[in-house]
Amino acid sequence: MRTSSNPAFRNLPRGASAYGQYAGFNQPQGGVPGTGVPQAPAGAADRPMTVDDVVMKTGASLGVTLLVGVVTAIWAQAQVAADSMGAVTGAMIVGMLVGLVLALIISFKQIASGPMTLAYAAAEGVFLGAITGVFELIYPGIALQAVLGTAAVFVVMLVVYKTGAVKVTPKLRKWIIGALGGALILMLANLVLGLFGVNMGLRDGGTLAIIFSLVVIGIAAFSFLLDFDMADRMIREGVPAKYSWYVAFGLMVTLVWLYLEILRLLSYLQSE
């Protein structure tokens, strides 16, 4: 199976006969030889993953993020009104760090776990909710715009993938992964230099910042094509249904990134 730009979809089961190999899950030996996938507990369901599995798990994860995010946003606005910005900042940091740790564990240990995926979704809900609550006070209506914008990009890219308007070829895959790597390096450089008072202009709300956000949104949007393609391959190759939680996690990573970038772009445009 080819790699994806999304780290959550790397090092997954390979081969057209992948599902058949999962008979080894019920053996006492550890895991499936050559796949890097940990052994599932005895008696685990081995039925193949379906589209419905992916839709339901992704929907559940997204629902948790939205619910926690709305509650946190309302709380954050109340805290700001009470002049307790420190509590909101603390919630942002805790949500971000917990989400980051869970994301790293799930990605690098290839854990297909409902509780861990939902915990990640809840942590991101706290992080996004705290940020959104503050932005909503400064720019009324921006939260709904960001949610609708994220949903629109997701739907458009799903239609693009399903209709074959853009084919996921090895060349396209390399271009997207390369663009993603370049964007991440620029964001990291901007963060590090910003600590020393150097402004690269990528996040100051100016013209360059707007252009950079548009480019990053484009990269995130095209990353969905790779995510959809990877999920499609997993379904066709008969990967066990439990890995639909892994797919849901991977899609959530891209959705969170896209939402944050759209929220940032809208704040730039409304402050003009």
Residue 25 has pLDDT above 50, yes or no: no
Would you state the pLDDT for residue 203?
83
Please indicate, yes or no, if residue 29 is contained in any of the structural domains.
no
Residue 109 has pLDDT above 50, yes or no: yes
Tokens standing for residue 196:
């020393």
Q: How many domains are there within the chain?
A: 1
Please indicate, yes or no, if residue 180 is contained in any of the structural domains.
yes
Residue 26 has pLDDT above 70, yes or no: no
Using one digit for the tens of pLDDT, what is the confidence trace for 159-193?
Answer: 999 988 888 888 999 999 999 899 889 888 888 88
Please indicate, yes or no, if residue 155 is contained in any of the structural domains.
yes
Using one digit for the tens of pLDDT, what is the confidence trace for 217-258?
Answer: 999 999 999 999 989 998 888 888 889 999 999 999 999 999
Query: Percent of the chain beyond pLDDT 90?
Result: 54
Residue 1 has pLDDT above 90, yes or no: no
Would you state the pLDDT for residue 206?
86
Q: What angle do CA 113, 116, 117 make, to 5 degrees?
A: 80
Using one digit for the tens of pLDDT, what is the confidence trace for 125-160?
Answer: 999 999 999 999 999 999 999 999 999 999 999 999
Reported confidence tier of residue 272, pLDDT bands at 50, 70, 90: low
Please indicate, yes or no, if residue 37 is contained in any of the structural domains.
no
Secondary structure, 3-state, the chain: CCCCCCHHHCCCCCCCCHHHHHHHHHCCCCCCCCCCCCCCCCCCCCCECCHHHHHHHHHHHHHHHHHHHHHHHHHHHHHHHCCCHHHHHHHHHHHHHHHHHHHHHHHHHCCCCHHHHHHHHHHHHHHHHHHHHHHHHHCCCHHHHHHHHHHHHHHHHHHHHHHCCCCCCHHHHHHHHHHHHHHHHHHHHHHHHHHCCCCCCCCCCCHHHHHHHHHHHHHHHHHHHHHHHHHHHHHHCCCEHHHHHHHHHHHHHHHHHHHHHHHHHHHHHHCC
Please indicate, yes or no, if residue 1 is contained in any of the structural domains.
no
Give the least confident one: 31-35, 73-77, 102-106: 31-35
Would you state the pLDDT for residue 193?
85
Using one digit for the tens of pLDDT, what is the confidence trace for 59-97?
Answer: 999 999 999 999 999 999 999 988 888 899 999 999 999
Would you state the pLDDT for residue 45?
52
Would you state the pLDDT for residue 102?
94
Would you state the pLDDT for residue 270?
87
Nearest partner of 51 among 253, 250, 252, 236, judged by Cα: 236
Distance CA 175, CA 225 (A): 12
Would you state the pLDDT for residue 33?
35
Phi, psi (5° rounding) for residue 67? Answer: -65, -50
Please indicate, yes or no, if residue 12 is contained in any of the structural domains.
no
Residue with tokens 């939205």: 66
Distance CA 119, CA 128 (A): 14
Reported confidence tier of residue 6, pLDDT bands at 50, 70, 90: low
Residue 205 has pLDDT above 50, yes or no: yes
How far CA 194 is from CA of 104, 183, 209, in Å, comes to 25, 16, 14
Range of the domain at 206: 48-270
